[in-house]
Structure 1
Amino acid sequence: MKYYIIAGEASGDLHGSNLMKALQKEDVHAEFRFWGGDLMQSVGGTLVKHYKERAFMGFAEVLLNINSIFKAISLCKKDIAAYKPDVIIFIDNSGFNLRIAKWAKEQKFKTHYYISPQVWASRANRVEKIKKNVDAMYVILPFVEDFYKKYNYNVHFVGHPLIDAIANRTQVDEYTFRKEHQLNDKPIIALLPGSRKQEIKKMLSVMLSVVKDYPDYQFVIAGAPSQEYSFYQQFITTKNVTFISNKTYDLLSVSTAALVTSGTATLETALFKVPQVVCYKGSWLSYQIGKRIITLKFISLVNLIMNKEVVTELIQGEFNEKSLKKELDSILDPYQRTKYFLNYYELEKELGGKGASEKTAKLIYKAISPNT
C-alpha cells in the first residue's frame, strides 16, 4: 500500500515516525511519501517538505506568511495527485491539513486523521467539515472522543502516543548524562521555551530572568532540533545556564523542576513526573484574537485532561519575572511537590495506556485493505 502522510511540526514528526514503524509491521509492502521531519525520514520513504520550512505560530504570523502557505498547499495537492496514494494520513496541523482533506475527499482519496484538530478548543463549527471530509478520525485524548459524540461523529480513541515514545526510549544514566554535557551536581531546572523562533523569542528571556535567584540550582535550556545554538545564544546573558540540543527527554528524566511553554511539552514533562510551571505569551494580536475564540478553562494539556488545575498557567501578562519566581518557589517546595506526583499518576491512567501507534496502524490498514 502507498501511504501519504502530512505532519507539520516536531511532535507530528515524532508521532508520524512511530506510526510509520507500526504500519510497516501491518503492511510489509508499505511505501511512504510524506511531509514531516528527520524522524520520519529515518524510517524510510520520500520526504517532500520538511516541517522547518513552514513552522508559523499564531494568527498574525500565519497572515504574514500566507503566500508561502498557499504555495505549499498547491504543491501538496499536485504531489498527492501524482503519487496516487491508497490513503492520506493527516497528523494534527489543522490549518494546512483540513484544506488538503477537503480537496482530497473531492478527488476520491481515502482520508484518515491521526491526532484531531483542536476543534474542542475553538471554532467547533469545523466539526461538520471534518465529518464530511475525513473518513476516519483517531484521537489521543479521552475527552475529545466525548466531544465528537455530541456531534454524532464516531471516532477512535487510541491512547496517547507519548506514553509509547517515553516508555520505548533508551534510558539515560544520570551520571553519564551530567558528565557528557558538563553539568555539575546541582539539581536541574529545565527550560523548555518551545521549538519555533517566534515563541522562543517571547519565552526564553523571561524564563532566564529568574536564574539569578537560584544559585543552588543549574538551569538547562532544552534546545529544539529545528534551531541552532547560535539562535539561543543571544538570550543567554547570565552564568549558571547550560544549553543542550535535541535531548529533551534525557533532560527531563534528570530534572527537578521545569518551566515549560504551553503545548505538547507540558504533557511530556508531566509523564516524566517533573513538577512544572506552564508559560505562554503570544503576539498582542494573536492573543487578542485567541482569547475571543478559545472557549477552554485551561491552555495546558495536563489541566485539560484532568479537568482541574494540576499545574499553574502563567499566560500573557501574568508571565513575568515576579510571578514566575513565585510559582517556581512553589514547585521546589518539598511539601508542595507530592501533589504533583499523585496527579501525574492519575493523568497517565486517563491517557489509556500503551500502544497508540499500533492501534492506529491496525485500524488504518484494516480500513483500506482490499481483503477486508
Structure 2
Amino acid sequence: MKYYLVAGEASGDLHGANLMKALKEKDPQAEFRVFGGNLMLAEGGILVKHYADMAFMGFIEVVMNLNAILKNLKFCKDDIAAWQPDVLVLIDFPGFNLKIAEFAKANNILVCYYISPKVWAWNQKRVLKIKRTVDHLFCILPFEVDFYREWGMEVDYVGNPLLDAVAAFSPNENFVANNNLSAKKIIALLPGSRKQEISRLLPAMLGVTDKFPDHQFVIAGAPSFNADYYQQFIVEKNVPVIFNATYDLLSNAEAALVASGTATLETALFNVPQVVVYMGHPVSIGIARMVVKIKFISLVNLIMDKMVVKELIQQDCNPENITAELDKIIDNKNYRNRMLGDYDELDVKMGKPGASAKTAELIIKYATKK
C-alpha cells in the first residue's frame, strides 16, 4: 500500500521512522511519502518537506510565521491529492495535522492519527473535530483512553513508541573516547530541536557550567542544525556539541538539563536524574497559563501525576535556580534516590515495547477493511 506520513518535529521523525520499519515488515512492498526528517528518509520515505521548515512553537511564534505555515499546509494538501495514498498517517503536531486530517477525510482518504494530540491539556472541544475527521486514533499515554471515552470516542492504546526506540538502542562502548571527552562525569544538555527553544534555553543552561568544575557538560545537537549554528552560544564556553548520539550521551550522563518535551521521558527511561526547563515568548506563556488545564509540563510528571522532576519555567529558568537543582541531583543522595525510585514506578506504568509493531498491524487491518 501507499502510506503518506506527516511529522513536524524531531520526535515525530523518530516515531515515524520506527513505524515505517514495522509497516515494511508486514507490507514489504510498502511505498512511503513523508513530511518528516532524516530518520524517515533513511527508512525509504520520499522526503517531501523537512520538519526543520515547519517547527514553529508557541502562539506568538505561529502568528509571526503564519504565511510559511499556510504555504506548507497548501503544499501538503496538494501533494496528498496528487499522490492519492491508501492511508494518511498523522504523527502528533496537531495544529498542522488536524487541518490535514480534515482535508483528507473530505477526499475519502483513510486517516490514522498516531500519537494523540494533547487535547486533554487545553481546548478539549477539539475532540469533536478529531471524532469528525480522524478514522482511527492510536494513543501512547495510558490515561488518554479514559479521557477519550468520556467524550464518547473509542481509541486504540498501543503503548509508547519511545520504549521501542530505547529497546532497539545499542550503546557505543567507545563513546567517550570517540568524542574526545575527559574522564569527568557528564552533565548532558538537551536544549530541544527547534530554533526558538535552543536560542532561549541553551544560554541559561550554559550559564551554570562554571559552577560545576568537576563535571563536563555536553550538548546534544539537534539533527536539523549543524555545528556552526551552535558556535554563537558556545563561543566563550568549552562545551562540545555531539550530533546523532543523544542516547549514547544519556547512557554516560550523571545528570541532565532537558527542554520540556519528549526528551524528558527519554531521559527518565535512561535513568538519568534531570531538571526540566522551558522558556517561550512572554505572550505565548501568558496565554498558555490561562488556557492550559494541566498541573505539569513534563511527560514524566504528567504520567506519574506528581512532581517527580523539577520544572523551571520562564523567569524561574535561570542559572541560579538550575544550579541549585543540579546540586541536589548530584550531591543530595536522598533527593537523587527518590527521583530514581519514581523512575522505577514510571517504567512499570509505561509497560513493554511494541508500540510501532502494534500500530502498524492496526493500520494495515483498518486499511484493508476500508
TM-score if structure 2 supplies the norm length?
0.97
Distance 2:317 2:171 in 1: 33
How far apart, CA to CA, are the structure 2 residues paired with 1:240 and 1:31?
Answer: 45
Per the alignment, residue 323 of structure 1 pairs with 321
Matched, 1:79 2:83: no
- Corresponding residue of 1:122: 122
Q: Give the conservation status (yes or no) of the 8 Å contact 1:218–1:240.
A: no
Q: Which residue in the other structure is 2:161 paired with? A: 161
Q: Provide Cα deviations, 1:139-196, integer angstroms capped at 9, x if missing partner.
A: 11111112111101111111111111011012221xx211111111110000111111
- What residue in structure 1 maps to residue 192 of structure 2? 194
Q: Which whole-Å CA distance do the structure 2 matches of 1:273 and 1:112 have between them?
A: 32
> Where does residue 94 of structure 1 map in the other structure?
94
Q: Which residue of 1 aligns with 2:256?
A: 258
Query: Could you list the per-position Cα deviations for residues 234-285 of structure 1 after superposition, in whole angstroms to 9, with x for gaps in the alignment?
Result: 1125445222122111100000000101000100100000000000010111
Look up the match of 1:108: 108
How many residue pairs align between the two structures? 369
Name the SS of the counterpart of 2:351 in structure 1: coil
1:102-151 deviation per Cα after TM superposition (whole angstroms, max 9, x unaligned): 11111111100000111011110100000011000001111111211110
The within-5 A match list for 1:1-372 is: 1-173=1-173, 176-333=174-331, 334-370=333-369
Cα distance change on mapping 1:81 and 1:320 into 2, 3 Å: same
Q: Secondary structure at the match of 1:184?
A: coil
Q: Specify the code of the residue in structure 2 equivalent to 1:35.
A: F
1:336, 1:186 → 2: CA distance?
22
Instruction: Please provide the CA RMSD for this pair.
Output: 1.2
41-50 or 121-130: which moved more?
Answer: 41-50
- Whole-angstrom distance in 1 between the partners of 2:44 and 2:343: 35
Aligned 8 A contact 1:160 1:354 in 2 = yes
SS for the counterpart of 1:227 is: coil
Asked if the contact 1:140–1:351 (Cα under 8 Å) also holds between the matched residues in 2, the reply is: no
Q: Gapped runs of 5+ residues in structure 2? A: none
Q: Distance in 2 between matches of 1:215 and 1:115?
A: 41
Give the 4+ runs in structure 1 shifted more than 4 A: 237-240
Contiguous gaps of at least 5 residues in structure 1: none
Question: In the alignment, is the contact (CA less than 8 A) between 1:271 and 1:344 conserved in 2?
Answer: yes
- Between stretches 233-242 and 151-160, larger displacement belongs to 233-242
Amino acid corresponding to residue 277 of structure 1 in structure 2? V
| 1:313-359 deviation per Cα after TM superposition (whole angstroms, max 9, x unaligned) | 00111111111111111111233211122111211211121100000
Q: How far apart are the structure 2 equivalents of 1:294 and 1:313?
A: 16
The whole-number CA distance in structure 2 between the counterparts of 1:74 and 1:227 is: 26
Distance 1:45 1:226, change over 3 A: closer
Aligned AA for 1:345? Answer: D
Tell me the CA shift for residue 28 of structure 1: 2.1
State the AA in 2 paired with 1:60: I
Change (3 A) 1:215 1:240: farther
Give the fraction of aligned pairs with identical amino acids, expressed as a percent: 55
Aligned to 2:165, the other structure's residue is in SS state: helix
Q: Aligned letter for 2:40?
A: M
- Equivalents in 2 of 1:142, 1:320: separation in Å? 33
Q: Deviations over 1:298-325 (max 9, x none)?
A: 0000000000000000011111111111
For 1:33 and 1:292, how far apart are their aligned partners in 2?
Answer: 38
Kindly state the Cα deviation for residue 26 of structure 1 after the two structures are TM-superposed: 1.4
